[in-house]
């Protein structure tokens, strides 16, 4: 049985107080908190086998290399990839996206081609493609959204055409919470010879994910949003595509041979992992994967549906609350963005912080979407495995108290 109250005991930071109040952390879409097992994994590495990997024959280096590569295998299994050589470590999802845009993109996108995105994309899955389109004299095409923040699929069927080279879309919106129909988009893309690139930064931490079932061609995500340390990203790609791509960075460890005249590259995955990687944090990311596997991603998903449904109903009981994205909790992830009429989201965020509640307020690195919504930003509460309905009650009570300060949130 999924028991978030028991789970909370594994997260020491949740015991701290902010402004004299017990911390209510509702900002996991920005970064998740870390369980003790992940923290101990970091300490264990530095205390017992701190060494560089892939290069030494001494015991510490061999132990570090084994633990490092074990994490790669854990990630392969977690996303159901066919080969661990398809799992590339980067410093974050942003770097993974740029890697593909600047290697595969420059090889395959030509003048007159089209790159298809959505208005809900995080800047990380928008700006690299925008810049590639500009550089290659290609056209950036936007799939329209429905009134409740979902992709208009009939329109997508028309817009994804023989000029399309890549469809770049988020698995789950970090603002709207929308979970996108990746299988349908994959079929549309592949039918016209295009590839599907998935930004899984919000989806992979919260949804059972199989890259083979989704039939995507690339996927990027970050471990810090799924209980792991910061500074660890993953690019998954089909082996045939990765093999054909040029190196992204050159230097140590990604080479096969170097002479005065030329260099040749290492095999996958090391071809894209130049230099000393973030060894300690990657090893600790393996502990994060272990933790999520023990809970089960189906249970994680069910817990978040329950929380989101509860939060939406609670926000709807507050007058003037505007909720963005699908109202059906089964069609969205653990993110609820909202605004109150004539109240800036930063004011809401500040008042909640005074009550010890951490939310995110602003444009969430989605400025094109904010313009479409005709707002400067939103207040966003995001949930994860350690959140409870009681914390949502605290949030709602604090919003009611905010009415006394802001004078706009009227309870029905």
Our CA angle for 241, 284, 232, nearest 5°, is: 40
Contacts of 132 (CB under 8 A, 6+ apart): 101, 102, 105, 106, 109, 115, 138
Q: Please, are residues 335 and 178 in contact by the beta-carbon 8 Å criterion?
A: no
Counting beta carbons within 10 angstroms of the beta carbon of residue 112, is it exposed (0 to 12), middle (13 to 18) or buried (19 or more)?
A: exposed
Residues 209 and 78: their CA atoms lie apart, in Å, by 7
**Half-sphere CA count of 412, side-chain side, radius 13 A:** 9
| E strand or H helix at 371 | helix 367-373
Torsion angle in degrees (nearest 10) through CA of 198, 207, 212, 81:
90
13 secondary structure, DSSP code: G
* Residue among 75, 158, 49 at smallest CA distance from 114: 158
DSSP of 166-206 = EEEEESB-TTT-BBP-HHHHHHHHHHTT-EEEEE-TTTTTT
User: Which string of DSSP letters, residue by residue, matches 151-177?
Assistant: B-HHHHHHHS-TTEEEEEEESB-TTT-
Q: Report how far residue 93's alpha carbon sits from residue 162's, in angstroms, rounded to the nearest whole number.
A: 28
Active site residue 365: yes
Residue whose token pair is 């899955």? 125
Please tell me whether the peptide bond between 269 and the residue prior to it is cis, using omega within 30 degrees of 0: yes
- Give the three-state DSSP class for 257: strand
Of 11, 27, 25, the closest CA to residue 382 belongs to 27
> How far lies 198's CA from each of 81, 193, 204, 218, 236, in Å?
14, 16, 10, 6, 10
First to last CA, the chain: 35
The number of residues making up the chain comes to 412
From the list 216, 365, 366, 411, the catalytic residue is 365
Distance, in Å, from the CA atom of 56 to the CA atom of 373, rounded to the nearest integer, reads 54
Residues assigned a catalytic role: 365
């Amino acid at each position: 049985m999924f028991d978030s109250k028991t789970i909370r005991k594994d997260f020491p930071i949740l015991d701290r107080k902010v402004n004299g109040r017990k911390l209510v952390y509702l900002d996991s879409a920005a970064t998740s908190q870390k369980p003790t097992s992940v923290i101990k994994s970091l300490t264990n590495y530095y205390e017992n086998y701190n060494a560089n990997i892939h290069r030494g024959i001494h015991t510490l280096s061999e132990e570090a290399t084994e633990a490092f590569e074990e994490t790669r295998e854990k990630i392969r299994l977690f996303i159901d990839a066919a080969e661990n050589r398809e799992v590339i470590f980067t410093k974050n999802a942003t770097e993974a996206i740029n890697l593909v845009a600047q290697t595969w993109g420059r090889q395959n996108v030509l003048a007159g081609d089209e790159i298809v995105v959505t208005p809900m994309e995080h800047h990380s899955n928008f700006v690299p493609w925008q810049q590639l389109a500009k550089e290659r004299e290609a056209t950036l095409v936007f799939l329209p959204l429905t009134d409740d923040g979902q992709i208009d699929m009939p329109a997508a069927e028309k817009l994804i055409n023989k000029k399309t080279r890549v469809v770049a879309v988020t698995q789950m919106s970090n603002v709207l919470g929308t979970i996108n129909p990746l299988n349908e988009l994959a079929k549309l893309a592949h039918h016209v010879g295009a590839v599907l690139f998935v930004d899984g930064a919000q989806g992979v931490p919260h949804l059972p994910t199989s890259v083979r079932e989704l039939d995507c061609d690339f996927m990027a995500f970050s471990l810090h949003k799924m209980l792991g340390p910061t500074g660890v990203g993953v690019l998954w790609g089909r082996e045939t595509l990765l093999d054909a791509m040029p190196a992204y960075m050159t230097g140590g460890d990604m080479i096969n041979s170097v002479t005065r005249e030329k260099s040749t590259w290492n095999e996958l995955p090391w071809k894209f992992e130049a230099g000393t990687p973030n060894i300690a944090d990657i090893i600790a990311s393996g502990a994060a994967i272990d933790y999520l596997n023990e809970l089960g991603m189906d249970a994680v998903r069910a817990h978040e549906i329950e929380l989101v449904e509860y939060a939406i109903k609670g926000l709807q009981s507050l007058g003037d609350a505007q909720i963005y994205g699908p109202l059906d909790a089964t069609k969205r992830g653990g993110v609820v963005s909202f605004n109150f009429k004539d109240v800036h989201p930063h004011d809401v965020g500040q008042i909640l912080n005074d009550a010890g509640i951490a939310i995110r307020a602003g444009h969430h690195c989605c400025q094109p979407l904010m313009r479409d919504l005709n707002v400067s930003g939103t207040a966003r509460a995001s949930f994860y495995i350690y959140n409870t309905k009681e914390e949502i009650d605290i949030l709602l009570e604090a919003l009611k108290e905010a009415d006394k300060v802001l004078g706009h949130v009227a309870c029905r």
